[in-house]
Amino acid sequence: MIQLIAEITGNFKAIQGALGCVAAAIGVGLVGTKAVESVGRNPGASGKILVQSIIGMALAEAVAFYALFLGNY
pLDDT number for residue 72: 61
- Torsion angle of C-alpha atoms 58, 60, 66, 68, degrees rounded to 10: -100
> pTM value?
0.74
pLDDT for 62 equals: 87
Q: What is the pLDDT along the chain (73 residues), one digit of tens a residue?
A: 667 766 666 666 677 788 888 989 999 999 999 999 999 999 999 999 999 999 999 988 888 888 888 766 5
pLDDT given for residue 10 in this prediction: 65
The CATH classification of domain 2-72, taken from the options 1.20.20.10, 3.40.50.1000, 3.30.1330.60, 2.40.50.140: 1.20.20.10
Find all residues with CB under 8 Å of 70, minimum gap 6, and list them.
none
Residue type, 38: S
